[in-house]
Structure 1
Amino acid sequence: MNVENVIKTNIKIPLHKRTIIHLSLIMNKIDEQVSTCLKPFEISIQQYNVLSILRGQKGNPANLSTINERMVSKMSNTTRLVDKLILKGYVNRTVCKQNRRKVEIRITESGLNILKDLDGILFETEKKILGNFNETELHKLNILLNKF
């Protein structure tokens, strides 16, 4: 059910509540389209996020807390995500030689390669999602969203 359908039912919904519902519906629709794009690669949105964070490390290791801080979804179980990516061969985890309590996580060549494959596909998906907006509207939307 979208906001317009709720409005058509003549139910009086306060503007702030209608706005929150609308934002939630849009977020779910975006997640659905991105998930569909990633599905053939057997990668979740959260796993993609971890890989992107590790690619941004430019070869330097990251620890779980660093990854967790940078995650888009703070509700993710980072340890579980890393474990799944290890099984896929996209990241590796080692114990730091200088500090055995410190665990270092790095993206592998396979992880970098899957990101290269996904970059173009995600770019097109994002363009499609935002296809009804021109550049000026996107700038305005980002200004409004920054108010959060």
Structure 2
Amino acid sequence: MSTTSATEPRWLSSQEQHAWRAYLRGSRLLEAALDRDLQSHGVQLSEYEIISMLSEAPGRRLRMSSLADLVVQSRSRLTHTAVRLERRGWVRRESCLEDRRGVELVLTEEGWTAVQDMARVHVESVRRNLVDTMPPELFLALGSAMAAVETAITRSGSAGVCSEVE
């Protein structure tokens, strides 16, 4: 066995390279389009994602550390975003109901109303820019593929590293 093969990465084939670059460009364009459409409500996609997650949580509240993991943001970035959302009156930070040591982010009634209005814009944007651009079976395959990526990264232990990147 040669020493170079042990240190050389498994290079992508031309087909894999093409697919990878299409994924990168497409995912960045998609995020930009979704973000642009939410600007009609004066929010960024990352802000919408946070209040959307809160709107679906029991009691419309989540521990900040759990929320940071869900939206793949560092805790410090989530805190900065929470401050902006608090200024709008959409969320408030409270001591955790269970142990009082942690902090939970709670969606206010004003935030609940706002997220319901934004959801209409967001779902239309998701449909127009992603779901309706491909046959249903391809969209479902995309979801399965990304679930496999999530599982592999989570099992490898690198998910914690990702959530600390800003």
* TM-score, structure 1 normalization: 0.78
Match of 2:67 in 1: 67
Match of 1:135 in 2: 136
Report the more deviating stretch, 130-139 or 38-47: 130-139
Q: What is the CA–CA distance in structure 1 between the aligned matches of 2:54 and 2:102, rounded to whole Å?
A: 17
Q: Is the 8 A contact 2:54 2:106 kept in 1?
A: yes
RMSD after superposition: 2.3
Q: What is the CA–CA distance in structure 2 between the aligned matches of 1:60 and 1:43, rounded to whole Å?
A: 19
Deviation of 1:54 (Å): 1.0
Q: What is the CA–CA distance in structure 1 between the aligned matches of 2:144 and 2:100, rounded to whole Å?
A: 45
Q: Is the 8 A contact 2:63 2:96 kept in 1?
A: no
Report the more deviating stretch, 102-111 or 79-88: 102-111
Q: How many residues align?
A: 135
Structure 2 segments unaligned to the other structure (5+ residues): 1-12, 150-166
Q: What is the CA–CA distance in structure 1 between the aligned matches of 2:38 and 2:127, rounded to whole Å?
A: 15
Q: What is the CA–CA distance in structure 1 between the aligned matches of 2:81 and 2:64, rounded to whole Å?
A: 10
Structure 1 segments unaligned to the other structure (5+ residues): 1-12
C-alpha distance 60-123 of structure 1, shift in aligned 2 (>3 A): closer
* TM-score, structure 2 normalization: 0.71
2:139 partner amino acid: L
Q: What is the CA–CA distance in structure 2 between the aligned matches of 1:136 and 1:54, rounded to whole Å?
A: 30
Q: What is the CA–CA distance in structure 2 between the aligned matches of 1:88 and 1:22, rounded to whole Å?
A: 37
- What aligned pairs does 1:1-148 form with structure 2 within 5 A after superposition? 14-71=14-71, 73-74=72-73, 77-96=77-96, 100-130=100-130, 131-148=132-149
Q: What is the CA–CA distance in structure 1 between the aligned matches of 2:87 and 2:24, rounded to whole Å?
A: 33
